[in-house]
Amino acid sequence: MNGRDDFSATATPRSPRAPRWFVPALQMLPLAERRCLVRNLLDNMGMELSSGEYAVLSACEGARSLDEHEARAALRLGAPPEHRPAIRALLESCARSGLLSAVSDLVSRFGLPRDEVASPLAGIVVRTADRPRLLRRLLTGAAEMQNRTGATYRWYIVDDSRQEQSRRANREAIAANALLDATHLDLSVAESLEAELTAAFPQFSAEVRWLLGAAQGDEVTYGRTQNYLLLRFAGRRLLMADDDITIQPRRSALLRPGVEVSVGASAATWYENLDAAFSACPALELDPFAEHDRWLGRPLADAWPRAERGSGGLAIGNLPAELGTSFAPNARVIFTWNHVLGDPGWDTFESQQLNLEPETRRWLAAHPDAARYAFESQIHCRGPVALRLAPQQSLLTTTVTGFDNTLLIPPTIRAGRGGDPLLGAAAHCIHPEGWAVVLPFALPHLREERRQWLTPTDTLVKPAARFIRSQVILRGRSLVAERADQRMEALGTTLLDLAAADDATLTRGLMEGAAEYAAGILFDIRQQLDDPSLPAGWKHVLSQWFVSPSFKLDQASLRARIPSPQEVRSMASGYGCALQVWPQLWSFCRGRFR
């Protein structure tokens, strides 16, 4: 299922009588033909194993009870029942020796709860560009919520509009909601942050322009506003909202109580129209911004016990070995976001449309008529099935996102697609101890017009930012510096090294990445086609994508789906230079706007 077996599809039971054991990153050192030394890279504990014993340990992953690890290893290795006692004895020995890490020991690394008082929330920053009607709708909803709840926030409207009439209409929308404490920040004015930073750092003028410069031609500059707000509010916690949301919190259809510690994709449901979605996802009486504020910037020493005390308890889901380093004394929640209802936020295509999570598969089996809505409708509800506490690996900015910008959060690309995932990957490299909280409610994301999504007959060309992201993840694992600014500068250097690669090297890397991506999707489609529980309508949809040119694996098809080496080289060079100077720009702005 989804390229995984049943043991990774659900979270570890919440029973305190089943201790959980985490499989950390392991190092294997050969000793003889069939003997090796295996080390736990988290604790430096080692144990000598035979090749067969190492195969058993390698078949285990995540944080599970010994019963679950035993069952998983037996399944993966095709072990007969008479071998199960030996597998269990080996796992118990690995647990005693420290080769497996007790989850309770990992949690103890956070330290004792300290109930830190979080820094004040700077406010809610709305990024907008030439959509004054949507901004007015958002601000009107904010004023209504303020009247209803009595909660007040500072609002900052970061205006990246290209047309003067849009900027004028945005100012009018702010004036029409005068009870809100709202400030208009116009990126088009001559006295801009870009001009100020260029004057203060003339040697970095090219990097500042790459980060904050106005759109050229038909450029899409989502990242420009994100870079601006991270500098303008350096040293403070803040929430970022898109202008096309409404402040109408709703309960996700697949939600269950409790907290899940996990990484991975979200569950999804989809609907024929908005009325059907609202019927399945009832309204909630809560202040969404206060819910973000409760978690954003909290040390894990406080966040973890809070999660354990909540209704439904805490469960462990998918937790890859490399994330063991996230259990650290300085671990804290650096990002928050919530579910989305309506437009799911992607421009053309995301593999989540085909790689369904187990909860979505079960929902689809119970709602077979919904199969056609996955692509015919753009009304989706997406998010984890419980409040998710996750070692930070990704980032979602479709509705409301919280940034703990008291830490050095990296920038993203100013222009182009794929900026959010890239920022999330870079943040994980800079702050491997950073965590995210995905809040268990949805906010409607309602665009004015329908997006042009990919069809099975189209060819998907992956943006250069996706390849840069994969390289950030790969190269970030080798960073050894401890300070965030040093790690950011070192990551920038590795990207400049990538930019120096020749065309043949870049092309080979791009094609390997495209092949791996397509093969993963095809494998998952084949598994679903073989799943008797899924409805025929969904399998008909999948069969069309199975032969799509977007996932063909021959050399000509792969080459047609990759960006040019020149585009990758330009982006790697620009982003690498930007990362190297960002710590100085961020520190300057922290003092400037204190």
pLDDT in tens, 100-152: 999 999 999 999 988 777 889 999 999 999 999 999 999 999 999 999 999 99
At residue 58's C-alpha, the angle toward residues 54 and 62, to 5°, is 140
Domain boundaries, the chain: 6-108, 121-242
Residue 9 has pLDDT above 50, yes or no: no
Q: How confident is the model at residue 528 (pLDDT cuts 50, 70, 90)?
A: very high
C-alpha 403/C-alpha 335 separation (Å) is 5
Residue keyed to tokens 């679950």:
68
Q: Which of 155, 150, 152 is nearest to 122 (CA)?
A: 155
Q: Using CA atoms, how far apart are residues 108 and 324, in angstroms rounded to an integer?
A: 13
| pLDDT, mean of residues 508-515 | 96
The secondary structure element, H or E, covering residue 308 is helix 300-309
CATH fold of 6-108, please?
Outer Surface Protein A; domain 3 (3.90.930)
Token pair of 518 as six digits: 């397509």
Block residue for tokens 């080979």? 508
The pLDDT confidence band at residue 98, using thresholds 50, 70 and 90, is very high
- Backbone angles phi and psi of 75, in degrees to 5: -65, -45
- Tens-digit pLDDT profile for residues 222-242: 999 999 999 999 999 999 999
Beta partners for residue 341, in sequence order: 381, 444
Q: Which residues pair with 403 in a beta bridge?
A: 238, 335
Binned at pLDDT 50, 70 and 90, residue 220 comes out as confident
Virtual torsion, Cα 436, 438, 439, 444, nearest 10 deg: 130
pTM of the model: 0.93
Judged on CB neighbours under 10 Å (0-12, 13-18, 19+), 533 is: exposed
Q: Which helix (H) or strand (E) holds 88?
A: helix 84-97
Q: In whole angstroms, what is the distance from residue 226 CA to residue 411 CA?
A: 7
